Structure 1
């Protein structure tokens, strides 16, 4: 199992346990450290697990609102605890993750794989449907921020040509 996938698995298991046992913040670090020790002994970067969990917790209200909006027929408390936490984790990576390290479609696919591994028979389809809906609504976060490489290259070339022309004009 790839290190990042294992890390997401441990993060999801920790969030599941935290959510299932009443969402007591004081127990979260104990749960996370135990799960890292028990399930992720070979993980190269355990800080990735902690960062995922802390990010989900920090943005949980926002994540839950987005999930409720994307799946209005499924109130959050009626979504299976596993599925709810897989959605939170996938949505966190989709919205707030480093898009260069984890492109949005990879974040969605990883969440689907977690749902298939840990959830019920239809969990993968459910997670795919919810995250796919959100992805279609928001587009690819950060994609519009940077111009496509060809446009950028064309603009740079145009700027260089203008500068060269100015130099020629000044020399005449």
Structure 2
């Protein structure tokens, strides 16, 4: 697993934990940067990803809700929400190529979520990439 893939996985872990504990992800990130809970401290890319997701939180949630076709955010598995938020941030707002962002999100869904999640994640993020020129 490459360094950026590991950083994405750690960003998903933080986003998921923050939601489960009903904490602000930025506050949890600051806490983990100040006092790491693992042997390896969070790297800059992980921090940038979490900060980026939080910075576009409302817009990302609105777009996921709009384009998820019959699935509200609340109905999605919590880990899928974290993966989709990160994937949407990378597809829409980062310098990461869209195909890479989608591929990484699908791989995380295969590893962390249900059997149906990779297809759902792929379809929703591909749709966001498709409509991106009209959004940003």
CA 1:69–1:33 in 2, change beyond 3 Å: closer, same or farther? farther
Gaps of 5+ in 1: 143-172
Measure how far apart 1:134 and its partner are: 1.4
Residue 126 (structure 2) aligns with: 132
Pair 1:54 & 2:55 matched? no
Q: How does 1:127-166 map to 2 (within 5 A)?
A: 127-138=121-132
Q: Matched residues in 2 for 1:11 and 1:104: separation?
A: 18
Gaps of 5+ in 2: none
Measure how far apart 1:29 and its partner are: 2.5
Measure how far apart 1:21 and its partner are: 1.1
Tell me if structure 2 keeps the 8 A contact 1:14–1:32: no
Q: Matched residues in 2 for 1:33 and 1:94: separation?
A: 29
Q: Count residues in correspondence.
A: 135
With CA pairs under 8 Å and 6+ residues apart, which has the higher RCO, 1 or 2? 2
Tell me if structure 1 keeps the 8 A contact 2:92–2:128: no
Structure number with greater Rg is 1
| TM-score under structure 1 length normalisation | 0.70
Tell me if structure 1 keeps the 8 A contact 2:8–2:46: yes
Secondary structure at 2:38 match in 1: helix
Tell me if structure 2 keeps the 8 A contact 1:116–1:124: yes
Residue 89 (structure 1) aligns with: 86
Tell me if structure 2 keeps the 8 A contact 1:11–1:32: no
What RMSD, in angstroms, separates the aligned Cα atoms of the two structures? Answer: 2.5
Residue 30 (structure 1) aligns with: 31
Q: Matched residues in 2 for 1:138 and 1:24: separation?
A: 27
Measure how far apart 1:79 and its partner are: 0.8
